[in-house]
Structure 1
Amino acid sequence: MMFRMVTMAAVALAIAGTAARAADPRYPDWPCTQAKVPDISLAAVWAGPPVDDVQSKWKDDAKVSALVAKLSARKTPLDEAERSVKEFLAGSAADKTANAKLLFAGLFDTLNAQRSQVMSGLERVSRKQREAADKIREEAVQLQALQSATPRDEAKVEALNNDLIWKTRIFEDRHKVVRFVCEVPTAIDQRLFALGRVIQQELE
């Protein structure tokens, strides 16, 4: 009876874990309930002066590059990041505008890259989960067959059952991690919007 319960749970888990993949047919590997937005729109997070003329120039400024790295790190509390922005932009109006453009360009490039990396990772894990779910279903069917066989090979039943329990546990753990990481792209969006707003406020 115990083996039967493990088998059915494994099948149910595998099916449930892959059911959400068709939520948006444009992105079959996207595992999150949040809609996938491939790129952050500049217009959605920035209403300040155009940054087209600076683009990657922020990388040539050591001070700006170091600050961008600090502000982009999720370990840096947002309130601390906002204070750092204000301190950096203290100065003459001309310097402030130039520095603000460089800083935002750096944040936009860096956070967009972080976001893309996280999303690509989520889709890679989603593909692994789909493969794992298929394997769990296959082994569940094999286990049911072994359980029904006469004579029944208890050693094989136990070995396959233990393997199935282990694969199911890994599947569950990975599923929990995915659910947590699914929040990261949104957090990055919010961070970029918040820092962009502070930069713009400092220019007013």
Structure 2
Amino acid sequence: MTFARALIFGLASMGLGLPATAADFSDPTWPCIQRKVGALSMGLMWPVQMDEDMPLDPALRAAADQLAETLALRRIDLETAEGLVGDFADTHEADMAVMSYVFSRVFRTLNTRRTALIEGIGEYSLSQIARSERIDETRARMDTLMAAEEPDFDEVDRLEEQVDWDERIYTDRQKSLTYVCETPVLLEKRLYAVAQMLTAAAKD
């Protein structure tokens, strides 16, 4: 097994406790154990048809925009978010139309952020693959040098240092990739949770 394949296989075992067979490494731009989900559908998360251009009182629109901005912040835990939604609904007698407006703003923000993350993971993955291939090539060069009648040990030592450095960088980046891979899923879960709490708080 080449170093590149070994490291990619090792990456599969670093996910969220899922079996390695859950990942599809035929796509080099998606190294995560989590299943890749491309564009999200707002219609699958929100129970009613919405009109994003619905007319709103300026004060209500400002309050709704502020709520949406806050709900999109991951540092705001869901329990706190639910309380904010309840207060907003009570203060403004917000019905499903108003909550639809809020959710559309939250969805737009988090979906844009999620799309950028997925694109970044793809670039990250291709960079890691290129580095692992470079390690394989360097090791092959070392083998060739050592097989010569008069090996160039200075060059072998230099190449060995290069391999050690590349392996260290690869391993460090692989560890951080575990967290990065979880983030799109967490954003998707947050969107579903926000949709549920907005729906539940909407006034008849």
Q: Common fold, TM-score beyond 0.5?
A: yes
For the residue of structure 2 that corresponds to 1:38, the secondary structure is coil
**Number of the residue aligned with 1:99:** 98
Deviations 1:69-96 (A, max 9, x none): 2221222222222222222222354x44
**Number of the residue aligned with 1:16:** 6
Q: d(CA) in 2 for partners of 1:56 and 1:29?
A: 39
For the residue of structure 2 that corresponds to 1:182, the secondary structure is helix
Aligned residue-pair number: 188
Return 182-191 or 66-75, whichever deviates more. Answer: 66-75
Contact map agreement 1:68 1:106 (CA 8 A) in 2: yes
**Number of the residue aligned with 2:43:** 43
**Number of the residue aligned with 1:118:** 117
Contact map agreement 1:18 1:129 (CA 8 A) in 2: no
The gaps in structure 2 that reach 5 residues or longer are: 13-22
Deviations 1:22-64 (A, max 9, x none): 9265x441111221110222233221x322x115989x84433
Displacement after TM superposition at 1:180 (Å): 1.6
For the residue of structure 1 that corresponds to 2:91, the secondary structure is coil
What amino acid is the match of 2:177?
Answer: V
Return 147-156 or 162-171, whichever deviates more. Answer: 147-156
What amino acid is the match of 1:176?
Answer: K
1:87 aligns with 2:87: yes
- With structure 1 as the length reference, what TM-score do the two structures score? 0.80
Q: d(CA) in 2 for partners of 1:192 and 1:39?
A: 13
Q: d(CA) in 2 for partners of 1:201 and 1:78?
A: 14
From the superposition, tell whether residues 66 and 134 of structure 1 become closer, same or farther in structure 2 (CA, over 3 Å).
same
What amino acid is the match of 1:169?
Answer: R
Displacement after TM superposition at 1:111 (Å): 1.1
**Number of the residue aligned with 2:20:** none
Contact map agreement 1:46 1:196 (CA 8 A) in 2: yes
Contact map agreement 2:96 2:202 (CA 8 A) in 1: yes
What amino acid is the match of 2:79?
Answer: D
Contact map agreement 1:104 1:196 (CA 8 A) in 2: yes
Deviations 1:134-176 (A, max 9, x none): 1111011011222333323222111110111110111111112
Displacement after TM superposition at 1:185 (Å): 1.2
Deviations 1:84-143 (A, max 9, x none): 2222222354x4434312211111111111111111110111111111111111011011
The gaps in structure 1 that reach 5 residues or longer are: 1-7
**Number of the residue aligned with 1:188:** 187
From the superposition, tell whether residues 138 and 29 of structure 1 become closer, same or farther in structure 2 (CA, over 3 Å).
same
**Number of the residue aligned with 1:5:** none
From the superposition, tell whether residues 57 and 118 of structure 1 become closer, same or farther in structure 2 (CA, over 3 Å).
farther
Q: d(CA) in 1 for partners of 2:198 and 2:180?
A: 28
Contact map agreement 1:72 1:111 (CA 8 A) in 2: yes
Contact map agreement 2:95 2:202 (CA 8 A) in 1: yes
The CA RMSD over aligned residues, in Å, is 2.6
**Number of the residue aligned with 1:54:** 52
Q: Which structure's relative contact order is higher, taking Cα pairs within 8 Å and 6+ residues apart?
A: 1
Contact map agreement 1:90 1:96 (CA 8 A) in 2: no
Contact map agreement 2:121 2:180 (CA 8 A) in 1: yes
From the superposition, tell whether residues 134 and 70 of structure 1 become closer, same or farther in structure 2 (CA, over 3 Å).
same
% of aligned pairs identical?
29
